[in-house]
Amino acid sequence: MGPPENSSLGVVCFLDEDAESRIATLVSKIRAQSTLPPHLSLGGGYGASSSRADLFAKLEQFAAGIRQLPIRVGSLGIFRNIQGFSIFLAPVVTSQLLDLHQQFHAAFASYRHECVPYYLPGAWVPHIALAVHLDGVGLTSALDLCASKWSPFTACLHTVALVEHPPTNVVATLPLAPSG
């Protein structure tokens, strides 16, 4: 059985506790609503023709072959879509991060037709959202706060999770093997 009607599933990586705390503090300062812990999305839009059980089984296989990945969160960025602006933190794009993303999409190749196009290899912009659906005034305010309160830091992608949206819900979480 897939997700509820008008809902879809995605796969994200959660960050270590120190990074999560640091990002949560920043999110609270810009007064953004956060429904999931800080995360980096690998893919989304799944569930139209796939069951949670199938997706979770695929996620277990993927997670078994992946190690925790240190990342450097090095910049602040903006997206714009029909719902407004989003402000995000961006990790430095390394070959290891791109490999993780490629490995994910290879493991989930049979679900590629369901994946939202901007998560696909060649289109993916790795990011950790701070605030979404901002108008111009909200964006300006958020950027001012982030510019004065944020500095680059190191984090670790240590867990993968199957998430549902809407409503936003963590369906399942799997730890990644320690790096090294």
The pLDDT value recorded for residue 168 is 86
Confidence of residue 149 (pLDDT cuts 50, 70, 90): confident
Confidence of residue 48 (pLDDT cuts 50, 70, 90): confident
Q: Which tens digits make up the pLDDT trace of 102-142?
A: 999 999 999 999 999 999 999 999 999 998 889 999 999 99
Could you give the CA distance from residue 15 to residue 3 in angstroms, rounded to a whole number? 25
Could you give the CA distance from residue 76 to residue 87 in angstroms, rounded to a whole number? 7
> Residue 77, Cβ neighbours under 10 Å: how many?
13
CA distances from 16 to 43, 44, 65, 86 (A): 20, 22, 19, 23
Rounded (5°) CA angle 35-36-42: 130
Query: Does residue 174 contact residue 159 with C-beta atoms inside 8 Å?
Result: yes
* End-to-end C-alpha distance for the chain, whole angstroms: 38
CATH architecture for residues 29-174: Alpha-Beta Complex (3.90)
Q: pTM of the full predicted structure?
A: 0.92
Query: Does residue 62 contact residue 160 with C-beta atoms inside 8 Å?
Result: yes
